[in-house]
Structure 1
């Protein structure tokens, strides 16, 4: 019994050492992201896609229940009662195994180079001229792409997303999908998830991605492509937004293309409100098709009716800490940084070479 315990502790220490070494040594992070993760992802996703439900959601739920009720069972119910010290040590050991599993299965992708490092596309600093040019071009494309999206063709979204990622993989620093038909799952606790305003998630423990069952048709394609980007090893929310935009807006399916343009509208307007004068912002806003403004307002009302401010604020606080603890220094603001990525990419594509900011 003691020998088995020692072996277990040794294995855990080795795994934790691998995690910490990979986080500290940049070359190991690159090796993991480029060579190790694709193998792990293919193996775990091949297993998880056999299940019709989100096993990662169930695993997290059961783990939380176990951590909460195991101390009561161990201390008061079972015949051979344990001391509190042993109970706490057991709980801590379980959390360390979860920690190691999370990072080895997916989380060490946080240690890879960022978008600019992977693609050698230089960062382009915001200037009024560059931002105005980007916004003008974006609004024109958004308006032209508008179509009334009333239903979701899930298999078509899957095929188009896989095709899109295969197209951009070699030039934009992202892996190809591990399967030709990656299986998306519906979140097990959709009503609760809607209360915190989350539309999708990446399940790192089994390399599966899930979508909120309440998603509206215009949101579905871009959210699908966003979460698929996470499955392909992308940890940054801004980068996942960028890749979803690239995949969707390149599609020949008009509903998917519109979803891509629509997905970054709030980030465009948020940046514009911060960088433009009130008159410039009002002029920009007035150029957006009224059908699109009406759609956005209906979407906002739909989600606000499901949203719980208290639970949402708690989730936002925790997720902000999580992102900052994993080298995403801007926390939840990282989502809006997609505009910087799009501007840098467009400037690089249009001019071939951009002198990066000093």
Structure 2
């Protein structure tokens, strides 16, 4: 028994050492992201797709319950363990979870960012460049408008896989590990809607989940966003960027519109910050009223489900989580998609045209 315990501790120490070394040594982060993670994700997603429910959600839920109630059971029901041993057991379990999280997916935080992977240079905002981007974006947004009333989930899956296969070689992202990735519905959708989360990446089993309350106009872009996380993308801005690229390249008008709509709030947020009141009002008035009406209805829909108290707690925790994993802007990272789109458009417009398949 004591020998088994020693072996377990040795294995845990080795795994933790691998995690910390990979986080500290850039070349190891690249090796993990480019060579190791694709194998891990293929294996874990092949297993998790066999299950009809989100096993990652269930695993997290049972782990939290275990951490809360195991001390009570060990101390007061079994009456065998001292508090010191109970706390040590809890700490060991958390360390195993920590190692599993990073080895299964989290070490992707140690890879190069979008600019490093693609060699596309960052373009600094200037009033002229931003105005040009916004003008082009609004024209395309208005032209793409269509009334989205239903969700064709298999079609979204096929188009997303095709889109990622199309941009993989040139935009620094892996190809999907399966031709039909299985998306799961979050187990606790009503609670998740209370904190305003529309989708998530389940790192422990490499599965991605979507909120069961998602609206038809949001579903394609959210699907593509979470699929980007499955493909090893950790930055929320980058996941937004890839979802935009995949959806707006689609020949399906509903998916294409969802892509343009997905960054509208980020465009307006940046415009509010960078433009004068007169310029912003002019920009706002150029957007088709049907689109603004839809955006406002979507926002109202989620606000009716949102709990400010629980949502603020979730936002605070997630902000700390992102900052602790090398994303210094925290939750503001979502809106940094505009910088990626501007840099990409400037690069493409100066003779670096992405080949189409």
Q: Which range, TM-score by smaller chain? A: over 0.9
Aligned-pair CA distance for 1:352: 3.2
State how far apart, in whole Å, the 2-side matches of 1:140 and 1:353 are.
Answer: 22
Aligned-pair CA distance for 1:355: 19
Q: Deviations over 1:294-326 (max 9, x none)?
A: 001100110000000000000000000000000
State how far apart, in whole Å, the 2-side matches of 1:164 and 1:52 are.
Answer: 25
Q: Which runs of 4+ in 1 moved over 3 A?
A: 352-358
Q: Deviations over 1:104-133 (max 9, x none)?
A: 000000000000000000000000000000
Aligned-pair CA distance for 1:213: 0.1
Corresponding residue of 2:45: 45
State how far apart, in whole Å, the 2-side matches of 1:166 and 1:356 are.
Answer: 13
- Is this contact kept in 2: 1:122–1:355, CA < 8 A? no
Aligned-pair CA distance for 1:357: 29
Residues 356, 339 of structure 1: CA spacing in aligned structure 2 closer, same or farther, 3 A cutoff?
farther
Q: Deviations over 1:162-199 (max 9, x none)?
A: 00000000000000000000000000000000000000
Corresponding residue of 1:57: 57
- Is this contact kept in 1: 2:348–2:354, CA < 8 A? no
Aligned-pair CA distance for 1:81: 1.6
State how far apart, in whole Å, the 1-side matches of 2:247 and 2:336 are.
Answer: 18
Residues 353, 124 of structure 1: CA spacing in aligned structure 2 closer, same or farther, 3 A cutoff?
farther
Aligned-pair CA distance for 1:356: 23
- Is this contact kept in 2: 1:185–1:208, CA < 8 A? yes
- Is this contact kept in 2: 1:124–1:354, CA < 8 A? no
Residues 271, 98 of structure 1: CA spacing in aligned structure 2 closer, same or farther, 3 A cutoff?
same
State how far apart, in whole Å, the 2-side matches of 1:294 and 1:232 are.
Answer: 34
Q: Deviations over 1:251-284 (max 9, x none)?
A: 0000000000000000000000000000000000
Q: How many pairs are equivalent?
A: 357
Residues 253, 350 of structure 1: CA spacing in aligned structure 2 closer, same or farther, 3 A cutoff?
same
Q: Deviations over 1:214-233 (max 9, x none)?
A: 00000000000000000000
- Is this contact kept in 2: 1:124–1:355, CA < 8 A? no
Aligned-pair CA distance for 1:354: 13
Residues 226, 354 of structure 1: CA spacing in aligned structure 2 closer, same or farther, 3 A cutoff?
closer
What TM-score, normalized by structure 2, do the two folds share? 0.98
State how far apart, in whole Å, the 2-side matches of 1:155 and 1:356 are.
Answer: 26
Residues 14, 124 of structure 1: CA spacing in aligned structure 2 closer, same or farther, 3 A cutoff?
same
Q: Secondary structure at the match of 2:124?
A: coil
Q: Secondary structure at the match of 1:305?
A: helix
Corresponding residue of 2:155: 156
Q: Deviations over 1:46-69 (max 9, x none)?
A: 000000000000000000000000
State how far apart, in whole Å, the 1-side matches of 2:355 and 2:224 are.
Answer: 29
Q: Deviations over 1:18-76 (max 9, x none)?
A: 00000000000000000000000000000000000000000000000000000000000
- Is this contact kept in 2: 1:201–1:210, CA < 8 A? yes
